[in-house]
């Protein structure tokens, strides 16, 4: 495997211009969508089958030191999890990990069962009715295989989205958190940078200025499939009890034990 690539989204630098969202749409030829009213500048409310990069506009009343409304901006994307629920769920093998560590859906193999949609802990994967397949950020698979960074990172005018080798970006991000803390952003923190943390680390990780929950991110996302053995054993236990109950109901009694005739 090649050295793992990553995207580091430093939300403290985001100005909400949505260059990334537009660049993603154009490079990936994602179709038109009817905008929706979300009560703010954000559009759409969530990832769709045609929106893979999404700038979130989060209003946090009273969060500024002077009591003003804080406006948090975050360019959100598929996290390309090291332990990816979507990948584990896919029964066709359409979802695969590239040699760079990114997670991609092979559109020629996906049969549209939608199990991945229900298995992403971040609600990233969306179903496209017209192709009948599941869609999500590809980490610009075509670009990274031709020596280019993802379109969103390329377009970002403030370097809020940075692209590079994962280890280098994590080191850089750590320094940035310290610098921000020194500037008084006491809640500044990394999300998904730690490979020893949740989901084995995210290959698209973030620097947040507040708690993950403020950004509608789960504090401690878990791999959906972690309980498959326990749940299966419970089902097997149920099968044994039910099977025994049915067996005892059908067994001949009062005639000196079970008997059988052809």
Q: Which residues in this chain contact other proteins in the complex, by CB under 8 A?
A: 46, 85, 88-94, 109-115, 117-129, 131-134, 216, 224-225, 227-232, 234-239, 241-243, 245-252, 258-262
Of these partners, ligand SF4, other proteins, none, which one is at the site of residue 252 (CB under 5 to 8 Å by kind)? Answer: other proteins
Binding characters for ligand SF4, 120-139, by CB under 6 A (x = yes) = x-x-xx-------xx-x---
- Residue 162 CB, nearest approach to ligand SF4 (Å): 18
- Comparison of 179 and 236: residue with beta carbon closer to other proteins: 236
User: Which of 112, 134, 143 is CA-nearest to residue 28?
Assistant: 143
CB 132 within 8 A of CB 126: no
Sorted by sequence, the CB contacts under 8 Å of residue 14 that are 6+ apart come out as 55, 73, 74, 75, 158, 160
Torsion angles phi and psi, residue 191, rounded to 5: -125, 110
Stretch in the footprint of ligand SF4 (CB under 6 A) among 22-30, 51-59, 90-98, 251-259: 90-98
Q: Which of 94, 153, 161, 209 binds ligand SF4 (CB under 6 A)?
A: 94
- Residue 177 CB, nearest approach to other proteins (Å): 24
Reduced to 3 states (helix: H, G, I; strand: E, B; else coil), residue 232 is helix
Measured CA to CA, the distance from residue 208 to residue 25 in angstroms comes to 24
Of these partners, ligand SF4, other proteins, none, which one is at the site of residue 73 (CB under 5 to 8 Å by kind)? Answer: none
Stretch in the footprint of ligand SF4 (CB under 6 A) among 85-93, 142-150, 163-171, 251-259: 85-93
- Comparison of 24 and 84: residue with beta carbon closer to ligand SF4: 84
- Residue 19 CB, nearest approach to other proteins (Å): 23
CB 127 within 8 A of CB 135: yes
Can residue 89 be called a binding residue for ligand SF4 (CB under 6 A)? yes
Q: Read out DSSP for 153-196? A: HHH-TTS-EEEEEHHHHHHHHHHHHHHHHHTT-TT-EEES--TT
Measured CA to CA, the distance from residue 166 to residue 3 in angstroms comes to 8
Can residue 13 be called a binding residue for ligand SF4 (CB under 6 A)? no
Can residue 101 be called a binding residue for ligand SF4 (CB under 6 A)? no
| Burial status of residue 165 (CB atoms within 10 A of its CB: 0-12, 13-18, 19 or more) | middle
Contacts with ligand SF4 by CB under 6 A lie at: 78-81, 84-86, 89-90, 92, 94-95, 103, 105, 110-116, 120, 122, 124-125, 133-134, 136
């Amino acid at each position: 495997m090649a050295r793992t690539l990553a995207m580091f989204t430093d939300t403290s630098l985001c100005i909400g211009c949505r260059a990334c969202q537009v660049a993603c749409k154009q490079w990936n030829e994602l179709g038109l969508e009817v905008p929706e009213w979300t009560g703010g500048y954000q559009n759409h409310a969530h990832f769709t089958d045609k929106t893979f990069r999404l700038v979130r506009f989060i209003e946090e009343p009273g969060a500024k030191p002077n009591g003003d409304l804080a406006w948090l901006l975050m360019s959100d994307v598929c996290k390309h999890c090291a332990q990816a629920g979507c990948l584990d769920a896919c029964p066709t093998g359409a979802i695969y990990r590239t040699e760079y560590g990114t997670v991609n859906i092979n559109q020629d193999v996906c049969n549209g069962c939608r199990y991945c949609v229900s298995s992403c802990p971040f609600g990233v994967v969306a179903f496209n009715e017209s192709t009948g397949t599941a869609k999500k950020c590809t980490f610009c698979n075509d670009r990274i295989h031709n020596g280019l960074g993802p379109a969103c990172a390329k377009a970002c005018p403030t370097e809020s989205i940075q692209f590079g080798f994962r280890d280098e970006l994590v080191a850089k991000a750590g320094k940035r958190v310290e610098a921000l803390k020194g500037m008084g952003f006491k809640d500044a923190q990394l999300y998904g940078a730690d490979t020893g943390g949740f989901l084995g680390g995210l290959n698209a990780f973030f620097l947040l200025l507040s708690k993950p929950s403020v950004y509608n991110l789960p504090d401690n996302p878990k791999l959906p499939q972690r309980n498959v053995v326990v749940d299966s054993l419970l089902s097997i236990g149920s099968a044994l009890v039910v099977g025994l109950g049915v067996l005892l109901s059908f067994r001949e009694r009062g005639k000196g034990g079970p008997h059988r005739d052809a």
